Amino acid sequence: SPGLRTPRLPVWLCSVSGRHSVLFGTDSRLLSDWKSERIFHLYFYSGQQEQTQTAHLTIDTHSHHWEEAQREDPSSPRKRHPALEMAIRTKWAGATVSWNGTDPFF
């Protein structure tokens, strides 16, 4: 099926902290229009028992308040980021991730 080779919606299979999970979006423009990568929403599901609902994340690739945090001591607790955020930044370097009220759990 061509849909398996070229998905209609952005989907990433992830291995974060040794666990498999799915990160996906519902906006097909993320696949073809770089301008849609300014502020967008992704959803995360780990399939783990402790996750009771899909996490709704807002990604902002142009908010640069993270640069100020780089001046902090890297070992300070405020400097540590959830593993999922670090994985997201492998595609969108420097992006900020809002968990929209969910406690970061991954």
Q: What is the 3-state secondary structure (H, E, C) of 45-98?
A: ECCCCCCCCCEEEEEECCCCCHHHHCCCCCCCHHHCCCHHHHHHCCCCCCCEEE
Structural domain count of the chain: 1
- pLDDT of res. 81: 82
Answer whether residue 52 is part of any domain: yes
Tokens of 35: 């301008």
Percent of the chain at pLDDT exceeding 70: 81
Answer whether residue 105 is part of any domain: no
- pLDDT of res. 1: 62
Answer whether residue 1 is part of any domain: no
Question: How open is the CA angle 98-101-102, to the nearest 5 degrees?
Answer: 90
pLDDT of 4 over the 70 cut: no
Residue 81: domain span? 11-98
Answer whether residue 21 is part of any domain: yes
pLDDT tens-digit readout, 48-93: 887 888 999 999 998 765 455 555 555 555 557 889 999 999 999 9
Answer whether residue 2 is part of any domain: no
pLDDT averaged over every residue in the chain: 83
Answer whether residue 106 is part of any domain: no
Answer whether residue 91 is part of any domain: yes
Beta-bridge partners for 44: 23, 55
- pLDDT of res. 70: 54
- pLDDT of res. 72: 52
Question: How open is the CA angle 3-59-25, to the nearest 5 degrees?
Answer: 20
Tokens of 83: 């593993």
Answer whether residue 34 is part of any domain: yes
